Structure 1
Amino acid sequence: MSDTEHHVASASAPSPRSKFVGRVMPLFGAIALMATSAIGPGFLTQTATFTQQLGAAFSFGILISVLLDLAIQMNVWRVVGVSGLHAQELAQRVLPGLGVVLSVIVFICGFIANMGNVAGAGLGIKVLFGLDPRWGAVITTVLALVIFVNRYFIKLMDATTIPLGLVMIGLTLVVAVISSPPVDQAALQTVVPEEIDVLAITTIVGGTVGGYITYAGAHKLLASGITGPGRVREIARTSAVGVVATGVMRWLLFLAVLGVVATGTVLDVTKNPAGDAFQAAAGDVGFKIFGVVLWAAAMSSVIGASFTSVSFISTYSRRIRDREGLAVGAFVVACCTVFLLAGQTPVTVLVFSGGFNGLVLPLGFSVTMWIAWRRRDLLQGYRYPRWLIVVGVGGLALSWVLAVLAFEPVFGLLK
């Protein structure tokens, strides 16, 4: 080989650093997609609403949501990742027709949630720049289209959701410190709550791990090619880190709002309770910070909800699979159009969306646990850890109990 040929070969070969980045970025992208999908406008509204109602006792609900999140995501990521199949494909192989049912339910949940995400993005831009929320929704939709019409949209998703997630956590931490919450009360009532509200727990669980959110990170792993028994360690670590990241944001937002309501401030839970909390904590600057957090939460959730919802129908159509980015973009446009025609999504609908996701959560998770327990053939011969099955079954049982107890209260929200 000549010196010139050797130089060209060396220049074209990826460096160790680029190999590392290429391996790690999809993992962090999956973490960010799951975490930011779980932290949308509905999550902000739900947390502020229930913190106003329950005070420090809501910390128990957050603890239950984090524990359930761990039990669910560690199993869902492992089953989907090791099998290399989407959740609906797995359900279809367990029981013909079940995959279609799961796809329809998750797709509808994703569409409803995404209307709230688009509306939240519009409200965030209104807080920041004073624009009509409808214009804010359109601007956000256009930005999302820029990502999805690109042939490298998977990588662009990573480059967008990771920094948005860091911005949300950083700014919420600032407000949480400023509001000076009673951390001792929150810590005590995390384990010994004065009040337990099943509707609040089911709603926050559904809003942070139910519906499409259950599968956002796992389906992103599939899109990035991270599958098979040989990648199980990466899949397991990534799922745990994703839950921790989501849990940190839940606690920070809860503490930020708790610091405000503990002073006797009453939030308007019918309009913008989270915005009221940020403004009460840090004045006009706090309100602008809320605008940034709300838009970042909404934008990242638009990406997560759209990508995940379309992933549930792409397996049924080769045309959609071949043009998945365009299909996701069309989904965003449809959600924005319905929002513009219907008007702003009220707080009640955002809370109902989380509650409804909590009701449908056990269906898909039951399939996941059945595969982990009985269908080793779908896991490419992988021997599933028994301890993880026990954890998953415990989480599944709790999710069914919550769904049954909260069924009537959730639909009562629409009265």
Structure 2
Amino acid sequence: MVNDRKKNNSAPDTIIKPSRSPRSTAMGAAFLMAMAAVGPGFLTQTATFTGQMGANFGFAILICIIFDIVVQMNVWRIIVVSGRKAQSIANDVFPGLGYVLSALVAAGGLFFNIGNVGGAGLGLNVLFGISPENGAVIAAALALIIFVVKNALVVMDRTVQILAFVKVAILVYIIFVMSVPYGTAIQHTFVPTKIDFYSIVTIVGGTVGGYISFSGGHRLIEGGVRGEKNIKYVNEGALTGIGIASVIRVLLFLAGLSVVVAGYKLDPTNPAASIFKYAAGNFGYKFFGILLFAAGMTSILGSTFTSTSFLDYAVKNKGVSSYEKYRKYLVIGFILISTLIFYFVGNPAKVLVFVGAANGFVLPISLTILLLASKRKKIIGSYNHPKWLTYSGWAVVLFMAFASIKTIIGLF
């Protein structure tokens, strides 16, 4: 096997014997990706832009869903077919590029995780009245317990699946008790009267930017799902994850639009909480606490798992075992640093919107790397990447690069 690795750089980073079926692993990856995306930042961004743009924000969501499909299908396929993590692929595309990608993803993941632990802490504050800082400490402790137990990946998968159903159930209830202007929402989604590039860059970045686009792919190969033979499970997992995240986004948008159309003004310091409070009073506000805690916990798990996976550059079995030996400490350090920064700095709301935009700037870079890799035989072997994914992938790169530049110019 060592000789094979010397001959072929596309050898997988890690040799894992799957303990679960490929479909089960793919569903775990789907929920991990979706719930990594649907965190406190997701709630804050969606509520903020719904309050600012009203029904026109539906167009940004539509573009986001289309881009989600293109990005995730490209990223998951190339990672799984190569059997390697994105940073290792990037180093083969251009020496040293993997280290740059790791730095961008890990830094973005760390900043997002500050908001994640803060969001979970705020959720506990709403529910039990404890301080957000102490709530963040409790949430961090729960996340650490999940990561350090035996079969941590399985426990993580089950946790995010349960919390996903909690999120959907709460949002369905809010939609049920509100008068939703479906006609207005549909009309402006397809024929907007205003297009805001900053909102598009931010929510695309918050859904498939930075670490999020790699969370599902890295979860698959760590679960032993790799190679062209598993493409069908890649498709199922990617589309399921996108579907879950999109349903939650649309439900939150409709709930927020109902509140805005009714004449209420969302609180800029906590716009998502305003939606639930106006919709269902104190009972709705408590529901929001559950939703925010669930969103924070799932994103802590997704952000920590994916960000630390970018620190693995092992190319031999010995390197893999060394990385796995120290990964527990990387996870602990990542969560502790995020929690300490929130505890002493606080104010995650503005950070969450800003980091979503920053991850949107990273997206064209990371997607470009993988699209270039899809043409390298030493990385993907005999696999032929679909032309429609290649062309649509480059279209997303160009649009996000243009939108990012336009957003930066608009800030000055």
Map of 1:15 onto structure 2: none
Residue deviations 1:327-381 (CA, integer Å, cap 9, x gap): 2132111211121122332x22111011111011110100111122x21331132
Map of 1:94 onto structure 2: 93
Maintained 8 Å contact 1:28/1:162: no
Maintained 8 Å contact 2:26/2:236: no
Map of 2:108 onto structure 1: 109
Residue deviations 1:10-50 (CA, integer Å, cap 9, x gap): xxxxxxxxx99744332211011100011111110111111
Task: Work out the CA distance in 1 between the residues paired with 2:352 and 2:19.
Answer: 40
Task: Work out the CA distance in 2 between the residues paired with 1:182 and 1:353.
Answer: 31
- Alpha-carbon shift at residue 408 of structure 1 (Å): 3.5
Task: Work out the CA distance in 1 between the residues paired with 2:176 and 2:359.
Answer: 31
Q: 1:151 and 1:327, CA in 2 relative to 1: closer, same or farther beyond 3 A?
A: farther
Map of 2:369 onto structure 1: 367
Map of 2:193 onto structure 1: 194
Residue 159 of structure 1 aligns to a residue whose secondary structure is helix
Maintained 8 Å contact 2:54/2:260: yes
- Alpha-carbon shift at residue 407 of structure 1 (Å): 2.2
2:212 matched to 1:218?
Answer: no
- Alpha-carbon shift at residue 314 of structure 1 (Å): 2.3
Q: How does 1:262-273 map to 2 (within 5 A)?
A: 262-269=261-268, 271-273=269-271
Residue 313 of structure 2 aligns to a residue whose secondary structure is helix
Map of 2:300 onto structure 1: 302
Map of 2:3 onto structure 1: none
Q: 1:21 and 1:153, CA in 2 relative to 1: closer, same or farther beyond 3 A?
A: closer
Map of 1:405 onto structure 2: 406
- Alpha-carbon shift at residue 99 of structure 1 (Å): 0.5
Map of 2:311 onto structure 1: 313
Map of 1:137 onto structure 2: 136
Task: Work out the CA distance in 1 between the residues paired with 2:326 and 2:235.
Answer: 30
Give 1:308's aligned amino acid: T
2:256 matched to 1:254?
Answer: no
Map of 2:164 onto structure 1: 165
Task: Work out the CA distance in 2 between the residues paired with 1:161 and 1:328.
Answer: 17
Task: Between 122-131 and 336-345, report the one with greater CA deviation.
Answer: 336-345
Map of 1:24 onto structure 2: 23
Give 1:375's aligned amino acid: R
Task: Work out the CA distance in 2 between the residues paired with 1:160 and 1:223.
Answer: 18
For normalisation by structure 2, the TM-score amounts to: 0.92
Map of 2:149 onto structure 1: 150
Give 1:165's aligned amino acid: A
Maintained 8 Å contact 1:359/1:407: no
Q: Which of 269, 278, 281 is residue 279 of structure 2 equivalent to?
A: 281
Residue 383 of structure 2 aligns to a residue whose secondary structure is coil
Maintained 8 Å contact 1:207/1:357: yes
Map of 1:13 onto structure 2: none
Q: 1:106 and 1:21, CA in 2 relative to 1: closer, same or farther beyond 3 A?
A: closer
Task: Work out the CA distance in 2 between the residues paired with 1:124 and 1:389.
Answer: 41
Maintained 8 Å contact 1:153/1:325: no
Residue deviations 1:274-297 (CA, integer Å, cap 9, x gap): 001111001111101111110100
Residue 382 of structure 1 aligns to a residue whose secondary structure is coil
Map of 1:177 onto structure 2: 176
Structure 1 residue ranges without an equivalent (≥5) = 1-18
Give 2:331's aligned amino acid: V
Map of 2:11 onto structure 1: none
Maintained 8 Å contact 1:176/1:257: no
Task: Work out the CA distance in 1 between the residues paired with 2:262 and 2:300.
Answer: 34
Residue deviations 1:101-155 (CA, integer Å, cap 9, x gap): 0000110000000000000010000001111111110111111111111231111
Maintained 8 Å contact 2:364/2:396: no
Task: Work out the CA distance in 2 between the residues paired with 1:25 and 1:160.
Answer: 14
2:353 matched to 1:351?
Answer: yes
Give 1:134's aligned amino acid: E
2:328 matched to 1:330?
Answer: no
Task: Work out the CA distance in 1 between the residues paired with 2:230 and 2:167.
Answer: 30
Map of 2:4 onto structure 1: none
Q: 1:380 and 1:334, CA in 2 relative to 1: closer, same or farther beyond 3 A?
A: same
Maintained 8 Å contact 1:376/1:383: no
For normalisation by structure 1, the TM-score amounts to: 0.91
Task: Work out the CA distance in 1 between the residues paired with 2:161 and 2:105.
Answer: 24
Q: How does 1:52-67 map to 2 (within 5 A)?
A: 52-67=51-66
Structure 2 residue ranges without an equivalent (≥5) = 1-17
Q: 1:186 and 1:35, CA in 2 relative to 1: closer, same or farther beyond 3 A?
A: same
- Alpha-carbon shift at residue 168 of structure 1 (Å): 0.6
Task: Work out the CA distance in 1 between the residues paired with 2:210 and 2:185.
Answer: 28
Count of aligned pairs between the two proteins: 390
Residue 314 of structure 1 aligns to a residue whose secondary structure is coil
Residue 267 of structure 1 aligns to a residue whose secondary structure is coil
Task: Work out the CA distance in 2 between the residues paired with 1:167 and 1:106.
Answer: 28
Residue 140 of structure 2 aligns to a residue whose secondary structure is helix
Give 2:338's aligned amino acid: C
Task: Work out the CA distance in 2 between the residues paired with 1:96 and 1:38.
Answer: 30
Residue 384 of structure 2 aligns to a residue whose secondary structure is coil
Task: Between 101-110 and 384-393, report the one with greater CA deviation.
Answer: 384-393
Maintained 8 Å contact 2:170/2:291: yes
Give 1:330's aligned amino acid: G
Residue 309 of structure 1 aligns to a residue whose secondary structure is helix
RMSD: 1.6
- Alpha-carbon shift at residue 73 of structure 1 (Å): 0.4
Q: 1:21 and 1:227, CA in 2 relative to 1: closer, same or farther beyond 3 A?
A: closer
